[in-house]
Amino acid sequence: MKNQSLSRMFELVWVKANLNLRSEASVNYLSYAWWVIEPLMHMVTYYLVFGFLLNRGGDNYVAFLLTGLVPWLWFNKAVMHAQGSILGGKQLMNQLYVPKLFFPLTNILQDSLKQVIVFVILMVFVVAYGIPAHSDWLWLLVLFVLQLMLIIGCGLIAALIVPFVRDMAFVIPTLMQFTMFCSGIFFDPKNIVPQYQDLFFLNPMASLLQGYRDVLLHSSPPDMGALLYVGIVSLVLIAIALVGYKKLDHVLPRVVLE
């Protein structure tokens, strides 16, 4: 029975995410085109600031920047949307019983489906930039899954904390911005002082971004130790989140109304 209820919940998550995507596209004049236009606007903005105005990097800086920025935008958007998802679902959860995992998972899946298109555009750009596709690009599937696991872990925990500590809705964006500048999006981690590089790569997003660049820009497999580390961190975060949701499942409907 438990397996059936989990299967039913994941089915509802899939249906709800798809309905949300259709609803989002229907209210915008450019419809589904915004899924591409929005990340492109971010890419152009950051390139103009760091690649043009500040004149950072070299000839390959555009490709370097985008291979870090695209995965980061996915991580940032999914976690930020997930953090307020339980509060946003307070009316539904107080009308009928809904597993609280439903709310953040729906937001995460919704953002992840949109991100698939952006990743395809990134790969097309890399090829157009003069870097040929290679068999090592298959590692992108592994990196994508690992990043999805990390997003699920971070998103579930953020969504669980915010109803109890509302101020975290302001703290989390600041933490995300700090993490952005500590993930190597705008600079090569090789330029970090050697004694601090191990500390830098404790940030799992830094390891993931380096993996994406190894595959897309250097046509080489990512570091296996880094992938294992990201996988372990993600599983630990997911496990902690699941324990928290299990213990607080019947408490949250009351807390969100306070």
List, for residues 122-141, the tens digit of each pLDDT value. Answer: 888 888 888 888 889 999 99
150-184: per-residue pLDDT in tens?
999 999 999 999 999 999 999 999 999 999 889 98
Closest by CA position to 256, among listed 77, 84, 4? 84
User: Residues of the chain with pLDDT > 70: what percent?
Assistant: 87
Residue ranges making up the domain that contains 180: 2-255
Contact of 229 with 140, CB cutoff 8 Å? no
More confident residue, 20 or 85: 85
Closest by CA position to 149, among listed 73, 211, 232? 232
In this predicted structure, what is the pLDDT of residue 3?
A: 56
For the chain, how many structural domains are there in total?
A: 1
Q: Give the predicted TM-score (pTM) of the model.
A: 0.88
Termini Cα distance of the chain: 33
Contact of 169 with 79, CB cutoff 8 Å? no
Residue 18 neighbours by CB under 8 Å, 6+ apart: 113
Q: How confident is the model at residue 44 (pLDDT cuts 50, 70, 90)?
A: confident
Q: In the predicted model, is pLDDT for residue 227 greater than 90? A: yes
More confident residue, 205 or 91: 205
* Average pLDDT of the segment spanning 220-245: 96
What distance in Å separates the CA atoms of residue 214 and residue 131, rounded to the nearest whole number?
A: 12
In this predicted structure, what is the pLDDT of residue 1?
A: 47
What distance in Å separates the CA atoms of residue 155 and residue 238, rounded to the nearest whole number?
A: 9
